[in-house]
Structure 1
Amino acid sequence: MKPISLRQVVLTLGCLMATFNVFGQSKSIYLWGGEAPGAIVNANYKQQVDSANSWMSQISKPILDVYPAPRETANGTAIIICPGGSYSGLAIAHEGKEVAKWLNSLGITAFVLKYRLPNDAIMTDKAIGPLMDGQQAVRLVRRNAKEWGINPGKIGIMGFSAGGHLAATISTHFKEKVSSTNDTTSVKPNFSILIYPVISMQENITHKGSKVNLLGQNPAAERVTYFSNELQVNGETPPAFLVHSMDDKAVPVQNSVAYALAMEKNNVPCELHIYQTGGHGYGLAHSKNTESLWPEACRKWMEVRGYIKGQEAGTPIFDRTVKLNPDDKPAFNDPPAGFRNKRDNIAHGKVSPVQYASKALGQSREMLVYTPPGYSSAKRYPVIYLLHGLNSGNGQWPYWINANNIIDNLISEGKIKPMIIVFPNCNTNVTVNNPKPDEQEERKGGYKGYGLSFQNDLLHEIIPFIESHYSVYTDRGHRAIAGLSMGGGQSLNIGLSHINNFAYVGGFSSAPNTNQFGGLSDAKLLPDPLAAKQKLKVLWLACGTKDGLFNVSQRVHQYLKKEGVPHVWHVDSNAHDDTEWANNLYLFTQHIFK
């Protein structure tokens, strides 16, 4: 394969994509249009390829190999793969091409990143070189997402071994501009998949070879900390799936454990699989041992998070077949690109954890509260109560969907007034003393913590606390409730049965817990249709046609239409995912508090 330059890609993009779609095979693209930033031209440094062992080394011109998903199964998700090799080479077959083909089978467009390997002979700062290339890969894929049939909100980064360190570095250092490019396209991955990764540069758990190759023999303490990614995790780090083996003698399992614990500490979704055997470097793990299960576990994780479609047909409690009616269509255009990216040139609000004493439950509980830029007790603000989905926690809206960024951006553009957002924990079994109830017990109990007890906690504890501790309006005309999935059902259940408390109600991808129409409860969703007609200022229903829960929202819409209750019915082509929820928050907030 003869690489083509980025300039050629821009000039011939239409022809290139036609080739992708017709042949479904790999093409290669140079990451940089010319010399890479920080490069030192060295005519004696030439790329080496050991075909017999599928090993590549001495890479001075980074390349992105493109593996488009088959047209008939493509789902818009893309994953950039970083092969491992101790930062001295790349295992381009079993940690590159083979993985790309597996991802293609799931409908995912894959990119194998052949990044520069740190070497003082070709870089002014060898430690930053791989990160530059990784950021540029994300930037390139996101910038060309529309042309390449990719959802810009579903771009993941994946890495094996030292490639896992690079993937984790990209996931934790996306705010830092390490190259001289003027392109402002976001370099934040939407999720990461880290397979037996090197995470840390700390002496007690690092992989010595990777550390020396990246940082040198005696790196400064600041450099060690900077590249110890377990120390760089924060609330904005993307969700992660990790795999490691207990008997890994090359990269200690403590690397993955440390990263997972940092994610848990910052309330970021994370799943860690530790297997008894496997050692190191097994790629897709074609063995008869338990580590061979990781690709299926990863597939399921991506399915649950909405990145791919399910491959297994369970027994539904409702009809999953989507039958569209003439009015099942978009009510609005999609938000503009970058609408939920954090912008450096505007003022930002603050998301803070707040504890309160729930008298009804006899427990201390915690919520997150967003206060807008310039919050002042001399002013009063309207409030939205945003409810999360099943087993996701109150950090789902700010830390995964970036709700605070969306609101910051809209305020800066003058499209909405400053407001306060409350992110409660919508399961009353979650308390300060019991932050992670047993999931099996929750399931056995029918998730009762999401039911009446949460309604009472919200109405009688959370709202009074907010209104006595923050400078907010206390009338229904300045109070909204909305949620996603299980939280969408809760928002409709609570909001429509307490119209005297809320003038604005929104359900995004509402789940089967939705009263009357979800299949789990016969309770009336709208006890007083006349009050709804007279008092509700905005009632918002939204769902994507790729969502297995579409019929729940569709049935609610049909009922409201029959009863003559005014409402927004916004149907797009998204799945049960963060794109759907972010889009609707962006739209919903521009129609309330008018």
Structure 2
Amino acid sequence: MERNFTEWPLGSTDQGATLSIYRANQTRSNAVIMCPGGGFNLVTMDHEGYAFADWFHQQGITYAVLKYRMPHGHVEIIREDIREAIRLIRARSAEWGIQQVGVMGASIGGYIAATAATLYHGTDRADFQILLYPVISMTDQLTHLPSRCRMLGENIPEAEKKALSLELHVTKETSSAFIVLAEDDQTVSPLNSLAYYTALLKHGVSAELHIYPQGGHSFGFCDSFIYKNLWTNELSQWLNAL
């Protein structure tokens, strides 16, 4: 499929973060920035990143994949990367015919995406969010401990855990959400999504939560996930209603 593809460095040229952008030929006035997972060991750019490009292209949506830097104990690094990605797309919105900029994330990438939808303000905040089996909380009971350790280090004050637990910071300004996961996810507790969804509803934020009985973790855009057609059709309908 013919696509308009460009790769943009974020920040200084030696920073390491990049944004791979697939511009839709006939835009529907939306753009989506994808944050793949990888547990802060790596960024799973294929099945949780590039693999979605054709699907979004068919929807008429400009799609971008963020290759973010590893935090190595510094949470501000990932915050900078997703913020710069949003700013890059917004800076070209008039030229590219984009009115809404959404974020999407899988696993720990879901945490990065939801950060931009929950903690950011003004034009830095995403207009909508799509989350796949996301890490949401930094609390001991819910978080993915290896990812938290790589992002924040070993010894984390309780106040910092709460400050970075997104379910505790939802407001009526938080972006509308589409959340999908499998009930049998043994890597990231489904209770992350449930806590976030509950907080969204409590504050009157429009949200959809789709939980499938099996599929485990990290199914991304894989054909092996037996509910792939079902959840992507649901996502298409949700995007049409934005």
- Interval containing the TM-score (normalised by the shorter chain): over 0.9
Match of 1:193 among 99, 110, 130: 130
Match of 1:61 in 2: 16
Give CA-to-partner distance per residue, 1:23-65, whole Å, 9 cap, x none: 6242111111456xxxxxxxxxxxxxxxxxxxxxxxx511111
Q: Where does 1:473-512 land on structure 2 (aligned, <5 Å)? A: none
**Number of aligned residue pairs:** 241
Partner residue, 1:112: 65
Normalising by structure 1, we get a TM-score of 0.39
Contact 1:284–1:292 (8 Å) recurs in 2: no
Q: Counterparts of 1:128 and 1:223 in 2: how far apart (Å)?
A: 13
Report how far residue 144 of structure 1 moved. 1.3
Higher relative contact order (Cα pairs below 8 Å, separated by 6+ residues): 2
What amino acid is the match of 1:303?
N
Any idea what SS the aligned residue of 2:209 has? strand
Q: Select which of 81, 84, 88 maps to 2:34.
A: 81
The residue identity in structure 2 corresponding to 1:27 is T
Given that 1:196 and 1:281 are in contact with CA atoms closer than 8 Å, whether structure 2 keeps it comes out as yes
Question: Sequence identity, in percent?
Answer: 37
Letter in 2 for 1:142: R
Question: 1:233 aligned to 146, 165, 170, which one?
Answer: 170
What is the alpha-carbon root mean square deviation over aligned residues? 1.6
Map of 1:161 onto structure 2: 107
What corresponds to 1:24 in structure 2?
3
The CA deviation at 1:101 is 2.2
The structure with more radius of gyration: 1
Q: Is the 8 A contact 1:215 1:223 kept in 2?
A: no
* Structure 1 unaligned spans of 5+: 1-22, 36-59, 121-125, 176-184, 306-594
Match of 1:90 in 2: 43
Alignment CA distance shift 1:281-1:292 (3 Å): farther
Deviation by residue 1:385-427 (Cα, 9 ceiling, x = unmatched):
xxxxxxxxxxxxxxxxxxxxxxxxxxxxxxxxxxxxxxxxxxx
Output the CA distance in 2 between the equivalents of 1:219 and 1:170.
22
- The counterpart of 1:287, out of the listed 212, 224, 227, is 224
Mapped contact 1:233–1:262 kept (Cα < 8 A)? yes
Offset from partner CA, 1:312-337 (integer Å, 9 cap, x none): xxxxxxxxxxxxxxxxxxxxxxxxxx
Give the structure-2-normalised TM-score.
Answer: 0.95
CA contact (8 A) 2:33 2:104 kept: yes
Q: Does 1:273 align with 2:210?
A: yes
Q: Tell me the secondary structure at the aligned position of residue 171 of structure 2.
A: coil
SS at match of 1:136: helix
Q: Is the 8 A contact 2:72 2:153 kept in 1?
A: no
Where does residue 150 of structure 1 map in the other structure? 98
Structure 2: gaps of 5 or more residues: none
Separation of aligned partners in 1, 2:159 and 2:228: 36
CA distance in 2, matches of 1:223, 1:87: 19
Is contact 2:215–2:225 with CA below 8 Å preserved after alignment?
Answer: no
User: Which residue number in structure 2 is paired with residue 141 of structure 1?
Assistant: 89
Q: Which amino acid aligns with 2:141?
A: N
Q: Equivalent residues in 2 for 1:413-432 (5 A)? A: none
Give the residue type in structure 1 aligned to 2:84: Q
